[in-house]
Amino acid sequence: MVSTAEDMTNVASTRDSAVKLEVRDVAIRYGSDTAISGITLDVKENEIFGIIGPANAGKTSFLKALNRMNDFNSEMSVEGEILFDGTNIRDVRNVYALRNRIGVVFPLPVGLPLTIYENVAFVPRLRGIREKAELDVIVERCLTRSALWDEVKDRLDSLGSLLSGGQQQRLTIARALSQEPELLMLDEFSIAVDPVTTMRIEDVLKELKPEMSIILVTNLVQQARRLADRTAFFLDGECVEIGDTEALFTGQVKDSRTTDYIEGRFG
């Protein structure tokens, strides 16, 4: 893969961007079992930040900690600092407001037992938007941006659960976008969708990048190469290294385990 002048400009621009999320020496435990330890990294504004690594590397646990989903699990404890726009997320009293700012899409689509329309309108309604005309605009915009509008615009009153797996995943993304997040996290979104739909969602993420920061956890290393500005390699609960994505994929690594994983020698 040859980097173009535009690619290099984008990398330089990302490198100079302001920091959106700071993670400092974070450890996550489930009871006495350690999922990750010593994680220190940052995510910049308008950056796609990739996280790769094999199963049980701690990637999903890491995402859960970033918008305090650990609050739901009394067995899960988080140590260290997570700063979002300079504020420690532990100091945020309204955790629901925090989660509106930090959206997440999980590997398997989790649709609400509602119509397609109401799946997307749900969060705006919670924010107090009641006018149907305004909701109509939001629903169409979010479904369009998730590459789903043309397929469902004539059946918005149908149950979201009746959509195909790939369509449900895009509906989940549309619902996340309806929150107007500043940081969007995706956890291996390709697991439940076909290759064509995967590429359509990848195009959506590229279009969203100028408006938000994105964390992309993926088990497809070439997906990280296609999308991420920088990539972190997680292994056994450790962040082995972080670097400009193209540099990592062209052998400019600090740890040989990174190359071994990228080249498929384990994982």
63 phi, psi to nearest 5 deg:
-60, -40
Q: Which helix (H) or strand (E) holds 32?
A: none
* Residue 214 covered by a domain: yes
Report how far residue 83's alpha carbon sits from residue 56's, in angstroms, rounded to the nearest whole number.
25
Per-residue pLDDT tens listing for the chain (267 residues): 444 444 444 444 445 679 999 999 999 999 999 999 999 999 999 999 999 999 999 999 999 999 998 888 889 999 999 999 999 999 999 988 898 899 998 887 676 789 999 999 999 998 899 999 999 999 999 999 888 999 999 999 999 999 988 889 899 999 999 999 999 999 998 887 788 888 988 998 999 999 999 999 998 999 999 999 999 999 999 999 999 999 999 999 999 999 999 998 887
* Residue 28 covered by a domain: yes
Cβ contact 15:46 at 8 Å:
no
* Residue 250 covered by a domain: yes
| Number of domains the chain contains | 1
Report how far residue 71's alpha carbon sits from residue 95's, in angstroms, rounded to the nearest whole number.
9
**First-to-last C-alpha distance (Å) of the chain:** 23
* Residue 159 covered by a domain: yes
* Residue 79 covered by a domain: yes
* Residue 19 covered by a domain: yes
Please report, for the domain that includes residue 42, its CATH number. Answer: 3.40.50.300
* Residue 83 covered by a domain: yes
Note down the domain range covering 109: 5-262
* Residue 267 covered by a domain: no
